[in-house]
Amino acid sequence: MKRLYEFEFGRENAKGYRPDILCRALTPPSFVPELPTGASLLVRFVVAPASAPEYVITLTRENDDWQVIFRTARISLWGFAYAGVHPQDVHRLLAERRIPPACWEATTTLPIDALPAELLNPCEFERIFEKTSIVRMGGTSVHACMVTSNQEIEIRNLGAVRWIDEVYALLDSVTDRIRKSLDNDMVERLFKWPYFES
């Protein structure tokens, strides 16, 4: 378990609810991280469900494996902000242990062919996300980035609302494969929200 790092948006500033803020809270320091030493590719999904805590999936390719970090908030950051709880109060409540630690974390390693091939191809990855569009699945907004040694692709909530079946299928495939690689206790913690019900 990790504790909250930074939380800077409030009800009066909904525009502050963006992947940079969510990543600083759940997986600092930023939405688009540097490529780790020894890695050839990094893919990150930042997902903000409408009625469940936010989560971040970070996939790093090292040789023929994916190193996976899955972090899900134990409290809805948006829910606290929208309820009028000031960010500093969230920090204080966490410090006083009056609300639970900020997130659950699981790590696992998967073979490179265990996840969709689109994650290995920057052009295909960008095409699926249609870079200037907001991706929203049933009230869930999805942001993504890909980092290689010579390229960074960022997909943020910027444009018109639209349903994108390929994004849903890609994210569903990734989360399902991660879920199957974890023990039951960790699955219960990470995937207990209605968003993950099949």
5: in domain: no
Number of separate domains in the chain = 1
86, pLDDT greater than 50: yes
Is residue 127, in this structure, part of any structural domain at all? yes
Identify whether 178 is part of a domain: yes
Q: What is the pLDDT of residues 13-22, one digit of tens each?
A: 555 677 887 8
Asked, for residue 100, whether it belongs to a domain, the answer is yes
For residue 136, the cross-strand partners are: 141
Within a domain: residue 4?
Answer: no
Q: pTM for this one?
A: 0.80
Over the stretch 43-58, which tens digit does the pLDDT of each residue have?
999 988 777 788 899 9
Q: Average model confidence (pLDDT) for the chain?
A: 76
Domain that holds residue 122: 14-189
* pLDDT (tens digit per residue) in 100-157: 556 788 899 999 999 999 999 998 888 887 644 555 555 677 888 999 999 898 887 6
DSSP conformational letter for 27: S
Q: What was the pLDDT predicted at 58? A: 96
**Domain-embedded: residue 8:** no
Which residue(s) pair with 60 in the sheet? 42, 67
The three-class DSSP label of residue 112 is: helix
In a domain, 6, yes or no: no
**Greater confidence, 89 or 125?**
125
**Can you give the CATH number for the domain in which 156 is found?**
3.30.1560
User: Which one of 20-29, 108-117, 167-176, 189-198 scores highest in mean pLDDT?
Assistant: 108-117
Residue 196 placed within a domain: no
**What does residue 36 show for φ and ψ, rounded to 5 degrees?**
-65, 150
